[in-house]
Homo-oligomer: A and B are copies of this chain.
Amino acid sequence: MKDTRIEAGRLRAFMERVYEKEGFTAEQARRIADVLMQADLFGIESHGAQRMMYYHENIASGSVDVSAQAEIVRQTPVSALVDGHFAMGHLTAVTAMELAIEKAKHTGVGMVAVRNSSHYGIAGYYPLMAAREGLAAFSMTNTGPIMVPTFGREMMLGTNPLAFCMPADPYPFWFDASTTVVTLGKVEVYNKRGKPMPEGWTIDGQGHICRDAHAMNASILAGEPGGILPLGGEGETHSGHKGYGLAIMVEALTGVLAQGMVSPDMCGAHGDHTCHFFLAFDPAMFGDAKDIRDRMSGYLKRLRESEKAPGYARIYTPGEKAHEAMADRLANGVPVEANTLLEMQQIARELGVEGL
């Protein structure tokens, strides 16, 4: 079914209505909506309005605590450990990144580890906050178990994304990627279309390559053996051990460093007790900020202008597709799937707020 285009302001206002009615303050509702809208504007529909039902259910079940406040457990001029107390992940993460930014402005660098949070939306939202202030930044999170180790067949790691942003023109260098070969969203798309997945994405409970998206989707959601392979695929031939190692690195900087839960202990593919890591720093510590920014912009431009492989008219640099999607969506509305639209109307009815 064709997606419906919804004017961005209308979608944002609906999200704010919903989160206020869920029990958040107007400012909190604005913050949550801003993270979700950024995903939808960037064309990452899996992390925008599409996740509202998931959050709605987590709030209803109490796994997300609407009244909880993130707490700074310990800090130094360059660091903080934050306990989310199971508040909405987006709110805890915004608070944590604001803290990292504030520290980076004072000392040059801010590192913040977060435990007892919940799903925080797109990892890349938070480094963008820093880039707007002229800073470079990282964001990482662990998630519910979904990735099998190299040579393994149990889900022992999350999608464990790593996001990084550095100021540049006409828009920042913006990298946001899971350390799995693909995300669950891709498996879901193949499941909906009834198409076999490419080889090298997932393995089944016996450890054999699995191309059946329907079976894989079901087994992941049930937490059964088998799962998604690391970036680089099966075994070591195409360096699957590198994606696996990157995922452990993310786990080390989130679940381990924040002394929270590691991925295999979480329930559900998205994870309910996630831990995050944020690092912001000021490039001006190393030289003239404008010069560094211009060098970044210039290098990205050279990449885009380099020779293309046959059949490709463009080479993209990370963040380019997202910013082009945003321009389109601000002009023509945000495409929302029919099923997501039904879910939003259901949430509106249940909460007694005005629908879209």
Cβ of A84 under 8 Å from chain B? no
Contact partner of A315 (CB less than 8 A), chosen from B152, B287, B315, is B152
CB-nearest residue of chain B relative to A306? B154
Min C-beta distance of A260 to chain B, whole Å: 9
**Among B74, B239, B249, B287, contact of A231 (Cβ-Cβ < 8 Å):** B239
Which 4 pairs show the lowest CB-CB distances between chains A and B?
A: A207-B309, A151-B312, A79-B285, A175-B245
A95: CB under 8 A from chain B? no
Q: Does chain B have a CB within 8 A of A150?
A: yes
Q: Which residue of B lies closest to A225 (CB)?
A: B307
> Which A positions have Cβ atoms within 8 angstroms of B?
74, 76-79, 81, 107-109, 111, 113, 136, 148-154, 156-157, 164, 166, 173, 175, 177-178, 181-182, 198, 200-201, 203, 206-208, 225, 231-233, 237-239, 241-246, 248-249, 251-252, 255-259, 262, 264, 281, 283, 285-287, 291-292, 295-296, 299-300, 302-303, 306-310, 312, 314-318
Cα distance, A316 to B236, chains bound together (Å): 11
Is the CB–CB distance between B77 and A175 below 8 Å?
Answer: no
Contact B306 A248 (CB under 8 A): no
Q: Across the interface, do A232 and B79 meet the contact criterion of CB distance under 8 Å?
A: no
Most buried by B among A76, A81, A242, A300: A242
Question: By the criterion CB–CB under 8 Å, are B312 and A257 in contact?
Answer: no
Q: Do A257 and B306 touch (CB < 8 A)?
A: no
Residues A245 and B177 in contact, CB atoms below 8 Å apart: yes
What is the distance, in angstroms, from A351's C-beta to the closest C-beta of chain B? 38
Chain B residue, CB-CB nearest to A244: B318
Q: Is the CB of B259 within 8 A of A316?
A: no
- Given A109-B111, A238-B238: A286 in contact with B74 (beta carbons within 8 A): yes
Known contacts: A238-B233, A302-B264. The answer to whether A258 contacts B243 by CB under 8 A is no
> Is B149's CB under 8 angstroms from A81's CB?
no
* 13 residue pairs A–B, Cβ–Cβ below 8 Å: A74-B285, A76-B285, A111-B285, A149-B306, A150-B316, A154-B307, A164-B249, A173-B252, A177-B241, A177-B245, A207-B310, A251-B299, A255-B295
A237 to B156, CA, bound (A): 24
User: In whole Å, how far is A171's beta carbon from the nearest beta carbon of chain B?
Assistant: 14
Write the chain B residue with the least CB distance to A259: B287
B153 close to A285 (CB less than 8 A)? no
Indicate if the CB atoms of A156 and B303 lie closer than 8 Å: yes
A300 to B152, CA, bound (A): 13
Q: A78-B107, A79-B285, A283-B257 are in contact. Are A151 and B252 (CB under 8 A)?
A: no
List, in ascending order, chain B residues with CB within 8 A of A81's CB. Answer: 285-287
Which residues of the partner chain B approach A245 to less than 8 Å between Cβ atoms? 175, 177, 318
Bound complex: CA of A65 vs CA of B25, how far in Å?
62
State the CA gap A300–B255 with chains docked (Å). Answer: 12
For A79, the closest partner residue in chain B by CB is B285
